[in-house]
């Protein structure tokens, strides 16, 4: 696996380039994020194709990586426009992908870790208000500050 090529693939991901996933992912690769859990490169392609249908101008930028021959951790930022709930403003999600590679060097396991509550739900009008209130109640008090 050439990790640089995989990162460039994600940096330049388009609706058309979703067809290239088999170049980087094994046929029976697993993918999991806060909303999906699938097996098979075709199912992974459907998730990313669906992303292009749901949001405008999606873009991944990998800012850090830690890798060895068996896998990698990629720190990334995902930006997009959410016309349905974000008023068309650019939204940002920060996360990490854990990748494992098979003997052929293709991704066999892809797990995305990101906080859906903070990165998405807190930005929704009603749900966000409830979550922000819950966070205030559950947060540890700051030393020297009385609530």
Query: How is domain 3-114 classified at the architecture level of CATH?
Result: Roll (3.10)
pLDDT at residue 142, rounded to an integer:
74
Tens-binned pLDDT, residue by residue, of the chain (147 aa): 699 999 999 999 999 999 999 999 999 999 999 989 999 999 999 999 999 998 999 999 999 999 998 999 999 999 988 766 556 778 888 999 999 999 999 999 999 998 766 555 555 666 655 656 666 676 677 776 655
Number of helices (H), then strands (E), in the chain: 5, 6
Q: Find out whether 6 and 17 touch, Cβ atoms under 8 Å.
A: no
Q: Find out whether 110 and 21 touch, Cβ atoms under 8 Å.
A: no
pTM score, whole prediction? 0.79
pLDDT at residue 23, rounded to an integer:
97
CA torsion, ordered 99, 70, 65, 61, to nearest 10 deg = -40
CA torsion, ordered 80, 118, 76, 73, to nearest 10 deg = -150
């Amino acid at each position: 696996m050439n990790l640089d090529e995989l990162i460039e693939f994600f940096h330049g991901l388009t609706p058309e380039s979703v067809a290239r996933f088999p170049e980087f992912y094994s046929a029976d690769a697993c993918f999991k994020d806060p909303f999906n859990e699938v097996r098979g490169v075709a199912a992974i392609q459907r998730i990313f194709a669906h992303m292009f249908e749901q949001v405008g101008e999606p873009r991944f930028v990998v800012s850090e990586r830690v890798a060895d021959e068996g896998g990698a951790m990629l720190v990334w930022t995902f930006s997009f426009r959410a016309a349905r709930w974000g008023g068309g403003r650019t939204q940002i999600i920060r996360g990490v992908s854990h990748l494992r590679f098979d003997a052929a060097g293709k991704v066999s396991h892809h797990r995305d870790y990101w906080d859906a509550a903070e990165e998405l739900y807190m930005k929704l009008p009603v749900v966000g208000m409830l979550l922000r209130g819950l966070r205030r109640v559950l947060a540890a008090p700051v030393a020297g500050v009385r609530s």
